[in-house]
Amino acid sequence: MEKLPKISLLAACGGMLLYILLFLFVDRPVVGWLHAHHSEGWVHRLGEMISQPAGSPILEIGLALGLLTAVIGILSNGGQNRPWTTWLLYVCASCAAAIVIGEGLKILLGRYRPVMLFDHNLYGLRFFSTKWECTSTPSGHTVSAFSVLTALKMRFPRGRILLICLAVLIGISRVAVTAHYPGDVLFGALIGIFSALWLHRLFFPDRRVGGLNNRRIQGRGPAEGVSAENREGTDQRSQAAG
């Protein structure tokens, strides 16, 4: 986590470049092909089923229940945080922060959704728009999924492969149902991931660094103790010989 600012900057630059390339060369043909061949088939139905948990109102209910549970846990402990309440607040805060950032960028960029391409041949950006049809980027479902699942990955690292695959699957499903372009999903994934990583740094600032420091101190302690005893014994022998 010490390298997080540098990694964030590199990811932002690389993600912006890739987003532009997708915007110019990939997004339109991909959703056009899906709309022409799978608009009402099993791919569309499967995509809707996969992406449903990351959308409202399921997500809103989950956030509300998570925050309420954490508050009750803190109050029942005399106003003091417990480990599980801290983690629960972290997961909820990661998702909430990602949603705020994502919704703000939706309005700022005002990208036409794929449906506007299909029905009106409109493609591009319409800045500062609050209309639903102009809020394609970033993908809100992807933002929510990656923020929550990245936060859970930090808590349950052994399940990281399953959690990452689930997040990626939700992102792909948003393209499969032609609700978003691939660039929207990439943008949403980056927002979700780095919202969770930065909130982890805020909630657990010494979690990794402190552990490493403790191990180093513990590793040096005995050796330094032996060295001190050896020096003391050598001094005593020298004095006796003298």
Which of 130, 133, 147 is CA-nearest to residue 188? 147
Determine contact, residues 192/145, Cβ cutoff 8 Å.
yes
Examine the pLDDT at 232 and tell me if it is beyond 70. Answer: no
Determine contact, residues 56/143, Cβ cutoff 8 Å.
no
CA distance 103 to 54: 15
pLDDT in tens, 201-212: 999 987 753 333
Q: Which residue has the tokens 């391409």?
A: 117
What pLDDT, on a 0 to 100 scale, did the predictor assign at position 99? 96
Please list the alpha-helical segments (H only) found in 110-159: 114-120, 140-155
Q: The domain 4-205 is classified under which CATH number: 1.10.10, 2.60.40, 1.20.144, 1.10.1740?
A: 1.20.144
CA distance 63 to 59: 6
Determine contact, residues 195/93, Cβ cutoff 8 Å.
no
What pLDDT, on a 0 to 100 scale, did the predictor assign at position 113? 98
Examine the pLDDT at 114 and tell me if it is beyond 80. Answer: yes
pLDDT category of residue 213 using cuts at 50, 70 and 90: very low
Ranges of each domain in the chain = 4-205, 206-242
pLDDT in tens, 136-185: 999 999 999 999 999 999 999 999 999 999 999 999 999 999 999 999 99
Q: How open is the CA angle 109-107-127, to the nearest 5 degrees?
A: 40
Is the backbone peptide bond immediately before 57 cis, with ω within 30 degrees of 0?
Answer: yes
Which of 233, 194, 185, 219 is CA-nearest to residue 98? 194
What's the DSSP call for residue 111? B
CA distance 145 to 155: 15
What pLDDT, on a 0 to 100 scale, did the predictor assign at position 208? 58
pLDDT in tens, 6-47: 999 999 999 999 999 999 999 999 999 999 998 888 998 999
What pLDDT, on a 0 to 100 scale, did the predictor assign at position 41? 86
Helices (H) and strands (E) in the chain, counts: 10, 0
